[in-house]
Every structure is written in C-alpha cells, then in structure tokens.
Amino acid sequence: MELADRLFGLSGQTAIVTGGASGIGEAIAHHLAGLGATTIIVDRDAERASAVRRDIAAAGGSADAEIIDIASEAAVIAGVKSIVDRHGGVHILVNNAGVQDREPMLDISAQEWDRILGINLRGPFLMLRECTKAMIAANVRGCVVNIASLGVMHPMIEGLAAYSASKAGLVSLTRNSAFELSGHGIRVNAVLPGGVVTPGSSHGAARRVEGPGTRPSPLGQLMPADIAGAAAFLVSPAAGKITGQMLAVESGWLLT
C-alpha cells in the first residue's frame, strides 16, 4: 500500500455528511468519496442531494443520499437507522448542516434564536449521539468532525449572535464528546472556517455584513474545498491520534 493510501485512504468506510447537498458539505462529500469512502449525503433537499450523489458516481465514487431534517429527533433516529441498515454501519460523521441567517442581536426573537440553535447545535448533537451509538454497537473506532465557525474566537460581522452562540456550543460539544467517547476509540474534532463563499453565506448576506469579517485575508478568499481538505485530514488515518481539537481554517485572517 502506498504511503498516501495508508495516511489518507478511506476505502471500506461509510461517511455521513450532513448538509451535503451544497456548499461546504458538497465539497466534503466529494473529497471523502474521492478518498474511497462510501459517502452518504444527508440533507433536506432531496433533489440537490440526488444531484450530488450522481456527480460523485459519475466521478467514479460511491455515494448515497438520505433525506433527514436534523432538527427532528425522530427523523434523525430513523434516518441513521436506515443508513446503518443499508450500508452495514457508519465510520465517519461530518456535522456540517447549519443555517447562517442574520439578525441584529437587539432585534432577534426568541423563536428565531431557538430555530437557529435547533438546527446548528441540537441537530449535530442528535446526529452525533445516534451515529456514535451505531459505532459502539459495531465496535467501530470511528470519528466525528463538527463544522463550527471562526466566529467562536472573534466576532466576524453583525447579525451573527445566535449563529456564533450555536457554534460555540458545538465547540463545547466537541470537547466533551471527545472526552466521553475516547474510551471507545472514537475521535471527535472540529473545523472552524473563516468567511467562506457558499450559497448559505450569500443568502445571509442579504441582511447585514458590517464588521471585521469583511476585511480581506492574507491568503485570499476561502472556498468550500479549503474546508473540505481540513475535514478530510481529520477523518483520515493520518489524524488517528488527534481528538478534542479545533482546527481554524481562516486564510490568515487572525493575523491581520
């Protein structure tokens, strides 16, 4: 086996990517499939999820799609069971699905706050709980990557109080679940992207964009593939002894 395969190959593994129908999630799905994993695109958008599945297959990869509303506990439980039943288990979970809808802190309603945290924090918790239960039941030493945000380290733009709070909770979930699951050989890490050009961020930009996050980064604009590369590393054998860590991918923005 070549060194690259030993370090980064994912052949024989099943990888779930939430929010895999577009943006960062779509890029991650393509990366993991390219490394040999059977990649399951989990999303609410059935049409886009099927399109990504077909694109991966056309490129020579193996993929499937599962439609799950991660804010629903019942949907998560049923969806993960369906994936495990079809594919025999799960080895990798990338919790990427989230919303970045923007509202000034003084204007945001409690209902909108709850909606954002329900998708961005409760949903990843539910997926992590169900997937790692399946890993433990099958004696799989799997791994989880949570896609958080650089906003947990530094305010980026106005209107992201709820979003950043949800991602800070996801960082805490990462550390605590890494601690609790280490005895089962399951690793849990997080990627903290800076400002990335995605359909979700473009939608959110229709509201407010003022703030330090609008200043340019030394290494240039981040793209979904930049985050996908970091996620692919963290789920790879090369990162086999890394857990409970936060990897900021921010194109040098913190240096400015």
Rounded to 10°, the helix 110-117/161-181 angle is 40
| Helix residue spans in the chain (DSSP H) | 3-8, 23-34, 46-58, 73-87, 110-117, 123-137, 161-181, 199-204, 224-235
Please say if 163 is a catalytic residue: yes
65, 84, 119, 163: which is the annotated catalytic residue? 163
How do 92-95 and 62-67 pair as beta strands? unpaired
b/e map 180-212, b = 16+ CB within 10 Å: ebeeeebbbbbbbbbbbebebbeebeeeebeee
- Catalytic residue IDs: 163
